[in-house]
Amino acid sequence: MYIEQAFKGRHELWRYILGVFVTFGGSQIIGSFILGGALVLKTMSGESVDLSNPMDILRIYDPNIMLVLMLVPFALGLLGLYLWMKPVHGVPFKVLHSAREKLDWKKVFFSFAIWGLISILFIWIGYVMAPEDYQWNFKPVPFAIMCVLSVVLIPLQTSFEEYIFRGYLMQGIGAFARNRWVPLVITSLIFGLMHITNPEIGKIGYIALVAYIGIGFFLGIITLMDEGLELALGFHAANNLFIALFVTADWTAFQTHSMLKDISEPSVGVEIFFPLLVVYPILTLIFARKYGWTGWKEKLFGKVVPHVQEDYVQSEI
């Protein structure tokens, strides 16, 4: 089973905590250095940047340049996690994929396609119901460049987040706690709180964290029920990619050359709670029916018992 994959290697909790600091923390430090360097270059050119305003910082360069600066650290973090697994845990990176022998790409693409279609539908409904809230933002050349950059970099960003939260931490905390609900709760909360510095939190308020924590629970549940990351990988990639391609706003983390720009004043409304209470449960049931999920209580709340031989000396590095 998925969490039990951790027992194939060296699985003391300190290794996972250190791994998160090295890979995820390292990627964020690199990102801070990149952004800091960009700010220095911009100020040296004589331009004034309000360092107290996150949105002003995000607009210091062309959106395509900023997209690269923001996403490259995540790609490096994914590479770091890949290189971390074998020497520190004694197992290949693929143990984070799933309990299956190989990554099931059909599941990745199915999840990507279904959430991509739903995302486009929601954007279209929003535009039809309130066209005055949107501004046509399409510029062929910048949009084409953004498409290429997004298709390459956004899946790396979202995959890193899935591998570190629903993969690495889920397995590490589960192996330590010896149950499934503790890693589900902890990784969902950490995933949500990770977004606390996003510009939209400052604009809407901390209530917006409910959406991120809710997404964390949804992705954690489908990972545990399906015994693998594939569905979460596809969903997360589609979510970020289609937002980047189709709609942006001055108050969001992703500033892109999207087709539409949301010019409405952000507020807390049905758009936060409707997906959590209606859309994600329905999508979970669709996945459950398609892939024949059973044993919900055991997979979400059951004990984690090693089903593989623990061949490694726990004190060994």
Mean pLDDT of the residues in the chain:
89
pLDDT tens column, 162-220:
999 999 999 999 999 999 999 999 999 999 999 888 878 877 888 889 999 999 999 99
For residue 314, being part of any structural domain is answered with: no
Task: State which amino acid sits at residue 263.
Answer: I
**DSSP-assigned letters across all residues of 217-265:** HHHHHHHHHHTBSHHHHHHHHHHHHHHHHHEEETTSS-----SEEE-SP
**H helices present in 130-180, as ranges:** 140-162, 170-177
CB atoms within 10 A of CB 83: 12
Q: Which among 234, 188, 232 has a CA at the least distance from the CA of 211?
A: 188
For residue 32, being part of any structural domain is answered with: yes
What residues make up the domain containing 178? 3-301
Give the strand pairing for 134-136 and 247-249. Answer: unpaired
Tell me the sheet residues that pair with 262: 134, 249
For residue 317, being part of any structural domain is answered with: no
For residue 87, being part of any structural domain is answered with: yes
For residue 307, being part of any structural domain is answered with: no
End-to-end CA distance of the chain: 25
**Rounded to whole angstroms, what are the CA distances from 194 to 3, 97, 124, 197?**
22, 22, 29, 7
pLDDT score, position 48: 67
Give the strand pairing for 134-136 and 260-262. Answer: antiparallel
Domain count, the chain: 1
Low-confidence ranges of the chain (pLDDT < 50): 310-317
For residue 310, being part of any structural domain is answered with: no
pLDDT score, position 314: 44
CA–CA separation, 215 vs 206, rounded Å?
15
For residue 308, being part of any structural domain is answered with: no
For residue 315, being part of any structural domain is answered with: no
